[in-house]
Amino acid sequence: MISSDNDRNNIVLSMRKTIMKTILKTNITVKDICDGFVYNELEGRGLFGLSGKLTIQPEYQRNYIYASDGGKREVFVIESILKGYPIGLIYFNQVSEDNLEVLDGQQRITSVGRFVNDKFAIKDENGMEQYFGGMAKDKKAKILETKLLIYECEGTESEIKEWFRTINIAGVPLNNQELLNAVYSGPFVTLSKEDFSNSQNSNIQKWSAYVSGSANRQDFLECALDWVSKSNIGDYMSRHRKDKNITELKTYFNGVIDWVSSVFIDVESEMRGLEWGRLYEAYHKKSYNPKNVSEEVQKLYGDPYVKNRKGIFEFILGGSTDTKLLEVRVFDDATKKSIYKEQTTKAEKKKESNCPDCALGHEANKEKIWNLSEMDSDHVTAWSKGGKTAFKNCQMLCKTHNQAKGNR
């Protein structure tokens, strides 16, 4: 989807209330827009158009993402133009007399600019790849002469940003971090994006072992900010907005990554996206022997009773005691029922409790026969001591005694 007209109409109405002036322009062509088009390959951003008058992706805009997913979206923009379909309203903000910024439409404009500059091809009727430079004259002209529907708006920075924050930009909604980058735009965001939102950064591959997501969608930046701010990203960005360096952010992020990679020498896919910031705060002062840690990781990975592999790392960091983190497999209902029956028959013959621990005691429950619903299964030999989740290792205990034995 490129745009939704209903949304647009609502936006225009709400803009009229907050922004002083909006003018609809219907005479700007693709050719005008693409005049002086500059695309920055490194940053993945369309930069300028309209003979330099137009800033396509101001710093509060997200990176160009229509080229991702195999470029289907940018091809769709060009196919729409060739078929004469509208590609939706575009909004410019009049920054000064000679300077406009794209408020909404930068993905579409960048698609058009990239196509006209032979950055990608579309398929023709015969399924052949076709670049703009190799197209027939009439088709070229059709694209270049297409007129776009453009609203030029004028408002204060805060009005524009407020408006920008309250709408979902056509096609792909802005995510949280993209919105925060818009709201707190300034030198700090610019510097942060150079490092954390640059898909050409050679560190991305290393980071990807521990952080999930993509640089383009600001996932690494969001993670770094989350860690350094202890999950108060907005607050942190507001305090550092005018900073001309990102030393603290970088140092902290690298510190966490270095710590994880030195404690856990193997890289497992379940490490990606864990709360390493929180774990770093809790455990980085403890010392670990990486070789022993590695052996323990491998042992737990090979253990079929460990259901939650993501919990292995925190389990080890915490001293290998909190088995809840591993979600060790429990006995199934059939096993429980069958063991219950066996225990209860024996207990009734001996006139003692069907909970072996109650039977050993001297309390009132010594001879009590519990219902199945009042009991829970227990590993005779604890899982942590090598006991298996198998029929032979199952016993039923009353809930009180089961809890007293702790989690296995």
Residues that bind Zn ion (CB under 5 A): 355, 357-358, 398, 401
Query: Nearest 5°: CA angle at 78, between 74 and 30?
Result: 110
- Distance of closest approach, residue 201 Cβ to Zn ion, in angstroms: 60
Compare residues 103 and 358 and give the one whose CB is closer to Zn ion: 358
Compare residues 149 and 369 and give the one whose CB is closer to Zn ion: 369
- Distance of closest approach, residue 363 Cβ to Zn ion, in angstroms: 9
Please return the burial class of 364, using the count of CB atoms within 10 Å of its CB with bins 0-12, 13-18 and 19+: exposed
What is the dihedral sign for C-alpha 83, 87, 88, 89? Answer: negative
One-letter amino acid of 247: T
Compare residues 80 and 407 and give the one whose CB is closer to Zn ion: 407
Please return the burial class of 53, using the count of CB atoms within 10 Å of its CB with bins 0-12, 13-18 and 19+: middle
- Distance of closest approach, residue 407 Cβ to Zn ion, in angstroms: 17
Compare residues 153 and 358 and give the one whose CB is closer to Zn ion: 358
One-letter amino acid of 332: D
Compare residues 232 and 403 and give the one whose CB is closer to Zn ion: 403
CB 87 within 8 A of CB 129: no
- Distance of closest approach, residue 339 Cβ to Zn ion, in angstroms: 15
Compare residues 161 and 408 and give the one whose CB is closer to Zn ion: 408
Cα separation, 213 vs 231, whole angstroms: 17
Let me know how many helices (H) and strands (E) the chain has, helices first: 18, 11
Compare residues 303 and 357 and give the one whose CB is closer to Zn ion: 357
- Distance of closest approach, residue 331 Cβ to Zn ion, in angstroms: 17
> φ, ψ for residue 27 (rounded to 5)?
-110, 5
- Distance of closest approach, residue 330 Cβ to Zn ion, in angstroms: 19
- Distance of closest approach, residue 357 Cβ to Zn ion, in angstroms: 4
Helix (H) or strand (E) holding 26: strand 21-29
Neighbouring-strand partners of residue 153 = 22, 93
- Distance of closest approach, residue 374 Cβ to Zn ion, in angstroms: 9
Length of the chain: 408
> Which of 15, 48, 47 is CA-nearest to residue 32?
48
CB 379 within 8 A of CB 366: no
> φ, ψ for residue 96 (rounded to 5)?
-145, -175
- Distance of closest approach, residue 372 Cβ to Zn ion, in angstroms: 14
- Distance of closest approach, residue 354 Cβ to Zn ion, in angstroms: 9
Q: What is the 3-state secondary structure (H, E, C) of 66-109?
A: CCCHHHHHHHHHHHHHHCCCCCCCEEEEEEECCEEEEEECHHHH
Compare residues 81 and 358 and give the one whose CB is closer to Zn ion: 358
Compare residues 35 and 374 and give the one whose CB is closer to Zn ion: 374
> Buried b vs exposed e over 365-377: b needs ≥16 C-beta within 10 Å?
beebbbeeeebbb
Compare residues 61 and 344 and give the one whose CB is closer to Zn ion: 344
Helix (H) or strand (E) holding 144: helix 137-145
